[in-house]
A = this chain, B = another copy of it.
Amino acid sequence: MGEARTVRADARRNIEKLLCAAAEVFGERGLHAPLDAIAQRAGVSTGTIYHRFGSREGLIDAVVPQYAEERLDTAAGRALACADPWEGFAQYVERVCELQVQNLALNDVISRNHPGTPKLAEVCHRSQEQARRIAERAQADGSLRADFAAEDLLFVFWSNAMLVRFTSGAAPDAWRRSLAFTLDGLRSEGARPLPTAALTPEQVERVMEGRGRAA
């Protein structure tokens, strides 16, 4: 706040326009949207983006984390507010998938497709902890299979990211069907032994760093 006064008024306005445009464009086209598109929508030249935010990552980290945190937090909150632990879990997963559908920026966030953005990584980390609590509650309840690990949620969200990409045009509801199959596979009832251990946190880390793309 004390620092903010060193920014000129017109610059302030441009920053505001940029933040707004970036939120829109990222939401429509994902975090890999061309910066030109954002600059254009803000009525500003690309140079300004780099002057202000240094890089695409800087811009992302300035725009997305707060938005993402809000959405993910309320999803988690509602899940824990749900009396039935399984219902809470299922609705949480469904809501997160819904976020992926509605907002391609969140899709990239949730499928961890954004290297070099520390704030966003922090949000993801917090969110994962919430998810872990939601899952553990459902496991304690006996409804969610005991061999499920919080890390396995990433599989669900990666799958859904792909589905959304492919089917959002021709069959916007297809993901719900796919998710229903998945959830049926996560109940304790039909659970069969698993062939492999869950991802370790280190593996999750490596996956997140090592990869950038997802088409």
> In the complex, A166→B190 CA distance in Å?
28
Contact mask A95-135 → B, CB, 8 Å, 1/0?
Answer: 00000000000000001000000000000000000000000
User: For A177, A191, A197, which residue has the most chain B Cβ atoms within 10 angstroms?
Assistant: A177
User: For A182, A197, A206, which residue has the most chain B Cβ atoms within 10 angstroms?
Assistant: A182
Q: Indicate whether A195 sits within 8 Å of B180 (C-beta atoms), given known contacts A162-B162, A166-B211, A214-B166.
A: yes
> What residues of chain B lie closer than 8 Å to A196, measured between beta carbons?
173-174, 176-177, 180
Minimum CB distance partner of A197 in chain B? B177
> What residues of chain B lie closer than 8 Å to A215, measured between beta carbons?
213-215
Could you say how many copies of this chain the assembly holds?
2
> What residues of chain B lie closer than 8 Å to A161, measured between beta carbons?
162
Contact mask A154-180 → B, CB, 8 Å, 1/0?
Answer: 010011011101110111011011101
> What residues of chain B lie closer than 8 Å to A180, measured between beta carbons?
192, 194-196
Q: Which residue of the partner chain, among B159, B167, B176, B190, contacts A189 with CB atoms under 8 Å? A: B190
A11 interface hit (Cβ, 8 Å) = no
A20 interface hit (Cβ, 8 Å) = no
A124 → chain B closest CB, angstroms? 14
Complex contact B177–A185 (CB within 8 A): no
Complex contact B181–A211 (CB within 8 A): no
- A interface, CB within 8 angstroms of B: 111, 148, 152, 155, 158-159, 161-163, 165-167, 169-171, 173-174, 176-178, 180-187, 189-192, 194-199, 203, 206-207, 210-211, 213-215
